[in-house]
């Protein structure tokens, strides 16, 4: 399955309304643009808009006869949605669900059942344990065995863990039998910490690496947010320095940010996060930009 992810995939957090609401029409157009451009891997999660991203992705794929054979879909477990007045958690627009952390066996089974219902799909190709930062014992002791059993039964295609840190992902790779990891924001032009242990460990063990958050939530694409919050002054200045280096080679900073993760042999796929058809086109054009070797040398020299 992991061999079918492709060089680039679409992360659907923006289509769930990350930072700002996205209309149904805009979301559908973005998904259609990604599909027409050849993207076949789509990553989603209950967390993204309290199920909104899953609903929109499922509705789109069900409308494509060829999707059943061609699409690769990953979702996540670890947050169960419960009806009630919840917090936005970065996704304004839908607050009629409360996100409850649950990495138990029952929580995993419930989460997957809810995700299948929301998407209308009959299976998921890949399921990630989502952000278990403070829940190692339950995630490794209950969520992982539950997913491994479902994988062995053929109910799901593959299993992984997805986090915004590299340390616990490395522990998962060493102590469990994962097929893939999704590392967000930790192998970028601004933060290469995943290269210390995680990426070499994945390469040794044949674990696919999906790189997400390659713009560090916006700062490497002209924004001012870093790791989903306002960027500190030192990080803003570091991004400006990277931009100056890229500009000296005639390369847009976002183009280098999109291409950088693929320079490591462990990285299988880079996730693009976009909220419109225009952003899809722009990101794929950036990904195809010509980048001279001298730029990578200067970026490496700059640390």
247-299 confidence digits (pLDDT tens): 999 999 999 999 999 999 999 999 999 999 999 999 999 999 999 999 999 99
Q: Read off the pLDDT of each residue in 65-84 and give the average, rounded to a whole number.
A: 96
pLDDT per residue as tens digits for the range 131-180? 999 999 999 999 999 999 999 999 999 999 999 999 999 999 999 999 99
Q: Are 19 and 143 in contact (CB under 8 A)?
A: no
How many other C-beta atoms can be found within 10 angstroms of the C-beta atom of residue 264? 17
How far is Cα 182 from Cα 213, in angstroms, rounded to an integer?
Answer: 10
pLDDT at 271: 98
Residue-range domain boundaries for the chain: 8-302
pLDDT at 3 over 80: no
pLDDT at 92: 86
Task: Look at residue 159 and give its three-state secondary structure.
Answer: strand
Tokens at residue 89, please?
A: 């958690």
Residues carrying an active site annotation: 48
Q: Are 216 and 191 in contact (CB under 8 A)?
A: yes
198-205 and 167-175 are packed helices; what angle lies between their axes, rounded to 10 degrees? 20
pLDDT at 90: 87
pLDDT at 111: 98
Q: Are 207 and 172 in contact (CB under 8 A)?
A: no
pLDDT per residue as tens digits for the range 195-251? 999 999 999 999 999 999 999 989 999 999 999 899 999 999 999 999 999 999 999
- pLDDT more than 70, % of the chain: 99
pLDDT at 264: 97
132 to 76, 129, 162, 182: CA distances (angstroms): 11, 7, 8, 13
pLDDT at 93: 76
pLDDT at 215: 96
Tokens at residue 129, please?
A: 């344990």
pLDDT at 97: 92
Q: Read off the pLDDT of each residue in 44-63 and give the average, rounded to a whole number.
A: 97
Residue 225: strand pairing partners? 230
Rg of the chain over Cα atoms, rounded to whole angstroms, equals 18
Least reliable range by pLDDT among 18-22, 140-144, 299-303: 299-303
The H-assigned helical ranges of the chain are: 24-36, 52-62, 67-70, 105-119, 136-138, 144-153, 167-175, 198-205, 233-248, 253-259, 277-287, 293-301
List of long-range contacts for 215-222, beta carbons under 8 Å, 24+ apart: 215/188, 215/254, 215/257, 215/273, 216/185, 216/188, 216/190, 216/191, 217/185, 219/190, 220/188, 220/189, 220/190, 220/253, 220/254, 220/257, 221/253, 221/254, 221/257, 222/253, 222/254
pLDDT at 86 over 90: no
Task: Look at residue 272 and give its three-state secondary structure.
Answer: strand
Decide which of 3.20.20.150, 3.40.190.10, 3.20.20.100, 3.40.50.150 is the CATH code for 8-302: 3.20.20.100
94: pLDDT confidence band, cut at 50, 70 and 90?
confident
CA angle 209, 110, 73 (to 5 degrees): 35
- For tokens 């059943």, the residue is 68
pLDDT at 1 over 70: no
113: pLDDT confidence band, cut at 50, 70 and 90?
very high
Write the DSSP string, 89-130. Answer: TT-TT--SEEEEE--SHHHHHHHHHHHHHHH--S--SEEEEE
pLDDT at 188 over 70: yes
pLDDT at 303 over 80: no
């Amino acid at each position: 399955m992991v061999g079918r992810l492709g060089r680039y995939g679409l992360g659907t957090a923006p289509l769930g309304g990350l930072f700002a609401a996205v209309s149904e029409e805009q979301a559908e157009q973005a998904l259609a643009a990604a599909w027409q451009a050849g993207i076949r891997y789509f990553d989603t999660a209950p967390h993204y808009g309290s199920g909104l991203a899953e609903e929109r992705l499922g509705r789109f794929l069900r409308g494509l006869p060829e999707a059943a054979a061609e699409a690769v879909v990953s979702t996540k477990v670890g947050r169960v949605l419960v009806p009630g007045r919840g917090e936005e958690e970065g996704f304004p627009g839908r607050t009629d669900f409360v996100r409850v952390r649950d990495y138990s066996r029952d929580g995993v089974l419930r989460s997957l059942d809810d995700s299948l219902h929301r998407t209308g799909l009959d299976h998921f190709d890949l399921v990630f344990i989502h952000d278990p930062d403070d829940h190692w014992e339950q995630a490794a002791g209950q969520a992982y065995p539950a997913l491994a059993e479902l994988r062995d039964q053929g109910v799901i295609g593959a299993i992984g863990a997805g986090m915004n840190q590299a340390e616990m992902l490395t522990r998962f790779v060493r102590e469990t039998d994962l097929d893939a990891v999704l590392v967000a924001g930790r192998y970028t032009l601004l933060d290469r910490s995943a290269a210390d242990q995680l990426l070499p460990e994945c390469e040794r063990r044949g674990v696919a690496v999906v790189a997400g958050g390659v713009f560090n939530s916006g700062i490497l694409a002209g924004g001012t947010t870093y790791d989903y919050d306002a960027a500190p002054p030192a990080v803003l200045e570091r991004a400006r320095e990277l931009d100056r280096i890229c500009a000296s080679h005639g390369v847009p900073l976002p183009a280098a940010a999109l291409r950088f993760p693929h320079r490591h042999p462990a990285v299988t796929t880079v996730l693009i996060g976009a909220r419109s058809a225009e952003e899809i086109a722009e990101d794929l054009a950036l990904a195809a930009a010509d980048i001279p070797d001298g730029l990578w040398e200067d970026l490496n020299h700059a640390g």
